Amino acid sequence: MSRKLGGQDDKDENVEGVIEALPAATSSTLTTVSTAPAATDQFMFTDDFKRLLVGLVQGDTLMTKAWKRVVDAFIDEGVKSGAMIVHGGADCVFEPEFGKDEEGQKEYEEWMRAFGDSQRERRRLVMRVIFLLNITKVGENACTLAANLIVLDIPEGVQSISRHAFSYCYSLTTVSFPKT
């Protein structure tokens, strides 16, 4: 079942085994494919990146501090904007909780190098989130500040979503719930 906010039509979607691909930032369309996209302007999934995203899930809980690994993967893959895909886990991109210690300062510096001194680039990365693993709980701040997140598919089996998991997702217009 899909519920559209803002008076939009209802629509059923099957997301089992789907890889979501978002074309480069110049396009506003979403493409759903069952294999890696062939177009050169779309994000290509490597095995390493898939393993990374699966690693964002700890047991059956979505982790809440994995943003840095996602940023690193974007840089490694040569993608700096226009796409954020969740395949397995979705601690997408959110306001990091930097510590006061040396490690926290290092994390902050790496984050600044990745995104510059503007949060704009980070916020426009996440437009759609689909969970494809057996998740039962979505952690605190999992997608906080994903200001361009427009579609959220809640998978079957989710028993709880932390209070601030999707805070400040200003563009979120569609939330799809499982039929059961």
Model pTM score: 0.37
Q: What is the DSSP string of 67-99?
A: HHHHHHHHHHHT--SS----SS----S------
Q: What is the pLDDT of residues 1-22, one digit of tens each?
A: 444 444 333 333 333 332 333 2
Q: Half-sphere exposure (CA, 13 Å, Cβ side) for 104?
A: 6
Which of the listed ranges 57-66, 80-89, 114-123, 163-172 does the model predict with the highest average pLDDT?
Answer: 163-172
Q: Considering the chain, what percentage of its residues have pLDDT values greater than 70?
A: 17
Interval 54-91: pLDDT, tens: 445 444 444 444 444 554 554 444 333 333 333 333 33
